[in-house]
Amino acid sequence: MKKFLFLVACTLIAAAFVSAQNLDLKIDYQFNVAADDSGNYLSFSGPQRFGTANKDAYDAVSGASKQKSTALFSTAYQTDITGRAAFPATVRCILLYPVQYPKGRIEDNLTVVKASNGAITAQFVHRGMAYRLVTDAQGKLMFPKSNCTTRLIGYISGQDPQVISKDFSSDGTAAKVDWAKVWNANTPSGTPITGDKAPANLKTGPITNDWENSPIFHFAGPLQLAFDGKILKINGTLRATQGAPK
């Protein structure tokens, strides 16, 4: 009962907040997926109290983002106050590449391709979890319930390289991940993932939709992606909308 009353209270607070303020989340992003590039950046803005970033980038001295985008975006936009997802982890991870250390894209095997029909696919594996987003033929990614999927295929221990199940990588490294196998539902899940430092009873997972599950609010609208073979750009404005996504 207490949990129910808390959720009701949270919902009422969120409803009042959404109706009282402009909760547009504006995103402007550029990232070179092929090489280190000083032109990489992430900008986002929303309600002032939630924090903003203006062309934030990686700071080699601190080893973090110059404007603290990682913490700001995660706490303000990724989850609601109960900890449930209001924004897909796939997109959040991609947005943070410009503000993490440059070799992150290599260690995660970040791969972006544009199909002949214009659809853009971005995929990577981070801390043993594979992520993928696919736009429509116009390069648009629609929210909520965007075309984002995940699959557990490995693990990481401390600062060591990721260890990937050989069901998905010929040599067990992220660099050799076979994306066709990862996103093939016929590739079995439930296979033990082994290694010297593998967590106990860790097994490969099924393909899962990376969808919002917050009952309080979610974001709606399109993000526009563009890719020229090297530079991935993401722009758009999303509106915070009361309630669970339908």
**Structure confidence at residue 74 (pLDDT):** 80
Rg for the chain (alpha carbons), in Å? Answer: 19
Residue 46 has a pLDDT of 85
Q: Which of 122, 92, 105, 83 is nearest to 35 (CA)?
A: 105
First to last CA, the chain: 25
Q: How does residue 115 score in pLDDT terms, banded at 50, 70 and 90?
A: very high
* Closest to 44 (Cα-Cα) out of 18, 57, 26: 26
**pLDDT at residue 16 above 80?**
no
Handedness of CA 84, 86, 90, 96 (dihedral sign): negative
Rounded to whole angstroms, how far apart are CA atoms 209 and 42? Answer: 25
User: What does pLDDT average to over the chain?
Assistant: 90
Q: What is the pLDDT of residue 143?
A: 98
Q: Taking the alpha carbons of 237, 239, 245, 246 in that order, is the dihedral positive or negative?
A: negative
d(CA 189, CA 166): 12
pTM of the model as a whole: 0.90
Identity of the residue numbered 23: L
The pLDDT tens digits for 217-230 are 999 999 999 999 99
Tokens coding 222:
């399109």
Q: What is the pLDDT of residues 142-178, one digit of tens each?
A: 999 999 999 999 999 999 999 999 999 999 999 999 9
